[in-house]
Amino acid sequence: MATEKQVIHSLKRLAAYYGREPTDEQAEIYVDLLGDLDAWRLRGAVRGWMQKSPFFPKVSELLELAAAIPEPQPDYLAAEADHLADKFYFTGELDQEEWDALIERFEKAERPYRAANLRKRYAIYTAMIAQSSNADGGQQEHANELSQ
C-alpha cells in the first residue's frame, strides 16, 4: 500500500506538472482514497495520466488508470538466483556450473548489473567456503599438536 508520503509525493509531481496545487482538503481526499493502491501502481497511474491528459486528474481517474496497469511479470531469473543462494546457505552446496549458467542467462537477458552481482556473490560464497575449510584445517592441526 502507498504510504501517505508516497501519495503526497505523487500529488506534488502532479502539481508541478500541471501548475495547480490542490487545497489541503483535496490533498487529504487524495491521500485517503489513493492510499489503498500499491505504490508501484500509484506511480504508474500518475505517470500514465501525465502522458495522456492535459488536465489535473480526479481520484477516480487515477484509480481507473491504476486498475488497468497489469501485474508485473515474475522475475524467474531473480527467483533462480535466490534459489542458488538458498541452496548454498542451507546445504553448503556451491555448484560453479549452475552459477556460471545463470550468470550467462542474465547477460543474454541484457541484465549485466545482475550478472555482475551474481559474480560477486559467487566469489563471496567461495571465499566463505575457503575460510571455513582453513579454519577447520587449523583446528585439526591444533588438535594433532595437542595429542602429541
Contact 2, 38 (CB under 8 A): yes
Specify whether the CB–CB gap between 63 and 33 falls below 8 A. Answer: yes
Q: What is the pTM of this model?
A: 0.56
Per-residue pLDDT reduced to its tens digit, 59-93: 999 999 999 998 877 899 999 999 999 999 888 89
- Domain coordinates of the chain in residue numbers? 4-67, 76-147
3-state SS track over 54-119: CCCCCHHHHHHHHHCCCCCCCCHHHHHHHHHHHHHHHHCCCCHHHHHHHHHHHHHCCCHHHHHHHH
- The string of pLDDT tens digits covering residues 28-48 is 999 999 999 998 899 999 999
Classify domain 4-67 by CATH number.
1.10.8
Q: Are 34 and 59 in contact (CB under 8 A)?
A: yes
Q: Render pLDDT for 112-132 as a digit per residue (tens, 0 to 9).
A: 999 999 999 999 999 999 998
